[in-house]
Amino acid sequence: MKSLSYSPKVKTTLQERLSQDIAIVTDGSLSIELSKRGLTDIPIDVYNLKNPVSVEQIHRDFMEVGAELLQTNTLNANRLMLEQHGLADKVYEINRKGVWIARCVALHRCYVAAVVGPTGKFFTPVGTLTKEEAFQVFTEQIIALLDGQPDCLMFKSFIDIEELEIAIQAAKFVNPNFPMIACKTFPEDGSVLATSFPADIAQRLEHNGVIALGSNSTVGPQRMFDIVKAISASNIPLVALPDTAIPVLEDGKALYNAEPEYVAHVVKKCIAQGARIVGADGGASVEHIRAIADIAALHKIGEGKVIIKSPKIIDSSLDTNATPSHFAQKIGKEFVSTVEIEIPRGLDIDNVVNTALYLKEHGVDAINIFDGARARVRINPIALSRLVQERTGIECITHFACRDRNMVGIQADLIGADALSVRNILAITGDPTSIGDFPNATSVYDLDAIGLIRTINKMNNGEDLHGNPIGKKTNFLISCAVNPTSHNIEREIRRFEQKIQEGATVAFSQPIFEYAVLEEFLERTKHLRFHFILGIIPLRSLRHAEFLHYEVPGMVVPDWVRKTIADNSHTIEHAAAKGMEIARTLLQKAKKDIAGVYIMPPAKKYSMAVEIIQSL
């Protein structure tokens, strides 16, 4: 009896397979297929341990309809993502098991890509993540993945190119020769894709030694085709993994409605444009992958490639959109003066305009328009600044608070401010909504003042917060707030150093009453380059002094000042005169050390500000 022997089909290496004429098809969305089985836990990576049989079956279902590259269920399996669900101690177990499950299905018939996703955190100062911590987090995950012996690493869903490059460097640290595929998620923005930005990103990834690069998620098939066109000059294989459509949220769940035939038709165009790894991501069921695999088997890579015009080159040296403000041009060359105007709650801004005219006529250089103070509803400070500048000709220092805006709204409002020629920005974190008229309103705080300064500085370099081009450079004067009287001066100086390092060039101080306080602060910050604007409040009465000291957060009115005001309180005129004397004396002594003065007159007594300025 003749013995039978089993000779398994031996697959080529992934790099060899990429050189062939037929595109490699990936699997689709594990999330969609798990939810069909009633498995909706978050993160889905936990099912590698809780229900590995279902994960394995989904991999098998995708493979049986034509998927040749199986992606492990590990996109969210780094320590920082898992610790949000109490699973930080399961990093190794979840990742190694994820590769093992996929390999049990793949055997010798297809390839396994060990998936690494972003940390879900922002780098400092926008968030709390440091580059060193990110490197460590990626290293931990990649060690576990490589112990499972996949065919390659696949970096997916990275918006921040810097974070993607750190992940790649971590992989090289673990194994410098292991094959890597890198996918950068691009914004849904045709104007960005028409520039050299995608090609520049592709070039950066090429220099990192990946075997294939491209994009996944966030955009639908048509926009993914635009991305492939934009990077089609790349010298290494391209990846195109679009979402099946832009999802609609219903009861918190993402719903996709694109038919498999439609998705496959557009993916065919990506193959014609040169994509060698294709598939679909968000919303991609087994049926979607079947349709894509059927089309991929019939069309060679590059057949019918569209020749595109050279993209618009982003010339960062010539794309400044605006001249600096007059205030910006003056500061550091002449002593400047600014005065804060009280902003009304309602729609009537005539008093603001008339006050601005009065102050301009008396030599004041700029008006401070506050934002978010005491969490009360007032006119938008950007809109008011534009109206004041337009009607009076005096420029405004526009306070910009982080409290009411998420990071998208912040950037949108900054672009709007630039378009309206509102270019002197004082970056502040803002009072919480609990201190105001609507205590049940939500305080956002996606960014604090330091993160806001970084955002403005990036816009001055022609980029948004994630490094995407915004078309032109803005030209904001970036100012920050500082409190030399802080009870925790060490922390205050540390944060001030960060503000200057991130791009602030002007510092507006909280009110100061003693020259020694100013002198000590300037001595401790002399290693920094900035223009200091001294904050001054002329006191009107003992009640005013005590209110500021005891009831306004961050304000310090020294004992001797309160006693001096008290000793001169036999009439309100005497108290106010003594308050003015203290303010004038401080300013005259400090003038040689500072770039200007920021006066906050009490109770709309703007004549007091004029009197102080004219006494110099």
Here the CATH number for the domain that contains residue 108 is 3.20.20.330
Does a structural domain hold residue 370?
yes
pLDDT (mean) for 460-472: 89
Residue 273 pLDDT > 50: yes
Q: Please tell me whether residues 511 and 601 are part of one structural domain.
A: yes
* 458 and 601 assigned to the same domain: yes
Q: What is the pLDDT of residues 301-319, one digit of tens each?
A: 988 676 666 556 555 444 5
Are 66 and 211 within one domain? yes
Give the residue-averaged pLDDT of 119-140.
94
Residue type, 124: T
Determine what percent of the chain is predicted with pLDDT higher than 90.
Answer: 76
Asked if 98 and 73 touch (Cβ cutoff 8 Å), the reply is yes
- Quick check: is 550 in a domain? no
In this prediction, residue 2 has a pLDDT band, given cuts at 50, 70 and 90, of very low
pLDDT, one tens digit per residue, over 242-267 is 998 877 766 666 677 789 999 999 99
CATH of the domain at 440: 3.20.20.220
Same domain, 264 and 363: no
| CB neighbourhood size of 135 (10 A) | 15
CA distance 77 to 141: 7
pLDDT tens-place string over residues 392-434: 999 999 999 999 999 999 999 999 999 999 999 999 998 887 7
Please say if the pLDDT value at position 479 is more than 70: yes
Question: Residue 305 falls within a domain, yes or no?
Answer: no
Radius of gyration of the chain (CA): 30
Question: Is 559 inside any structural domain?
Answer: no
pLDDT at 233 (0 to 100)? 86
Give, for 255, the enclosing helix (H) or strand (E).
strand 253-255
Distance of alpha carbon 610 from alpha carbon 605, whole angstroms: 9
CA distances from 48 to 42, 52, 64, 265, 506 (A): 12, 5, 20, 33, 53
Return the pLDDT at 469. Answer: 86
Domain that holds residue 341: 326-540+593-614
**Residue for token digits 């520039």?**
195
In a domain, 580, yes or no: no
**How many Cα atoms sit within 13 Å of 381 on the Cβ side?**
28
Q: 57 and 168 share a domain?
A: yes
- Whether residues 338 and 273 share a domain: the answer is no
Do 179 and 101 lie in one domain? The reply is yes
pLDDT category at 1 given cuts 50, 70, 90 is very low
**What is the distance between the alpha carbons of residues 372 and 229, in angstroms, rounded to a whole number?**
45
pLDDT at 357 over 80: yes
Do the Cβ atoms of 76 and 117 come closer than 8 Å? yes
547 within domain boundaries: no
Could you tell me which of 104, 16, 1, 13 has the C-alpha nearest to residue 56?
A: 104
Specify the pLDDT at position 553: 82
Query: Going by C-beta distance under 8 Å and a sequence separation of 6 or more, which residues neighbour residue 423?
Result: 322, 324, 325, 328, 417, 474, 475, 476, 477
pLDDT of residue 302: 86
- Say if residue 561's pLDDT is above 70: yes
Residues 159 and 259 in one domain: yes
On average, the pLDDT of the chain sits at 91
Helices in 208-325 by DSSP H: which ranges?
Answer: 221-230, 260-272, 286-296
Rounded average pLDDT over 578-597 = 96
Residues 292 and 151 in one domain: yes
Instruction: Find out whether 500 and 529 touch, Cβ atoms under 8 Å.
Output: yes
Residue 587, domain member (yes or no): no
Tell me: pLDDT of 526 over 50.
yes
What is each CA distance from 116 to 113, 166, 217, 609, in whole angstroms? 9, 12, 14, 59
Query: Do 399 and 272 reside in the same domain of the chain?
Result: no
* Averaged pLDDT for residues 516-536: 97
- In which band, very low, low, confident or very high, does the pLDDT at 570 lie, cut at 50, 70 and 90? confident
pLDDT per residue over 199-236, tens digit each?
Answer: 888 999 999 999 999 999 888 899 999 999 999 888 89
pLDDT tens profile 135-180 = 999 999 999 999 999 999 999 999 999 999 999 999 999 999 999 9
Same domain, 522 and 447: yes
CB neighbour list of residue 404: distance below 8 Å, 6 or more residues apart? 372, 430, 443, 444
* pLDDT for residue 250: 66
Q: How many domains does the chain have?
A: 2
- Looking at residue 8, its pLDDT comes to 38
Inside any domain, residue 301: no
Q: Which amino acid is at 22?
A: I
Do 207 and 69 share a structural domain?
yes
